[in-house]
Amino acid sequence: MRLVPVAILVALVLAVVGPRGADRPPPPARAPAVSAPPRLAPTPTPTPTPILRRPSRAVGLPWAGRLVHGRRLPVRGPGYATWDPIRKRVPNRAWRRWGTSRLVRIVSRVLAEYARGHRGAAPVLVGDLSRPRGGDFGPRYGGIGHASHQNGLDVDVYYPRRDGRRGIARRPDQVDRDGAQRLVDAFVRVGAQKVFVGPSLALHGPPRVVQALVHHDDHLHVRLRGT
């Protein structure tokens, strides 16, 4: 009998059954690793640009002038409310409440101090200052108008009433004269150039500053010095 070489037998077996493990499916291919997205640095919060207010200026004279970069007196504040002398009501319209920043600051401060010394008193009423850019504030803007109030240095402040109620004193006998005198003194202390008062009220102060003037029996008219 003729023997078949071993190498030939091995080759025949592999041809029938295949190599070891050939019947197993190949392992699944690994998905490529996905790297995490890079972390972005937080966007810094922008610092708001400050709004720079230009300094206000009174130009010209109180009776022939204008207002540059004026400030508006708030409609009300500690110790005061604004009064519309044409519509006869609270508050005054916005376009009638403009002055220099110094005038607005002084009016607010004086009336807040007055309120602290008169606990429970009605708010003092503040009338007209100037128009937004100053200029003419005469009769075409209502009533008898103002001969001055043109450059942001003038303000009308109504006297407190004897009965303690909020409102305008229609007659001199309705004015709280002690309270009115305290207001006059307070505005003199802060350096008012003029304080015009009613001729029927006997209010007093330095004669070159505190002066009686017609149409002022219900309010005092304060004028600051120009800068």
Q: pLDDT tens for residues 112-163?
A: 999 999 999 999 999 999 999 999 999 999 999 999 999 999 999 999 999 9
Q: How many helices (H) does the chain have, and how many strands (E)? A: 3, 11
Neighbours of 6 (CB within 10 A): 8
Q: What is the pLDDT of residue 177?
A: 98
Token pair, residue 206, equals 């330095």
Q: What is the C-alpha separation between 177 and 180, in angstroms, rounded?
A: 5
Tell me the residue type at 50. Answer: P
Q: Could you tell me how far CA 132 lies from the centroid of its own chain?
A: 15
Q: Could you tell me how far CA 183 lies from the centroid of its own chain?
A: 26
Supply the CATH classification number for the domain 57-224.
3.30.1380.10
Q: How confident is the model at residue 49 (pLDDT cuts 50, 70, 90)?
A: low
Mean pLDDT of the chain: 87
Mean pLDDT, residues 80-109 taken together: 98
Q: What is the C-alpha separation between 224 and 49, in angstroms, rounded?
A: 33
Cβ distance 68 to 59 under 8 Å?
yes
The answer to pTM > 0.85 is no
Token pair, residue 70, equals 């004026």
Q: How confident is the model at residue 17 (pLDDT cuts 50, 70, 90)?
A: very low
Residue 170, C-beta contacts closer than 8 angstroms, at least 6 positions apart: 218
Query: pLDDT per residue over 157-189, tens digit each?
Result: 999 999 999 999 999 999 999 999 999 999 999
- Radius of gyration in angstroms for the set of CA atoms belonging to the chain, rounded to a whole number: 43
| 95: three-class secondary structure by DSSP | helix
Cβ distance 152 to 129 under 8 Å?
yes
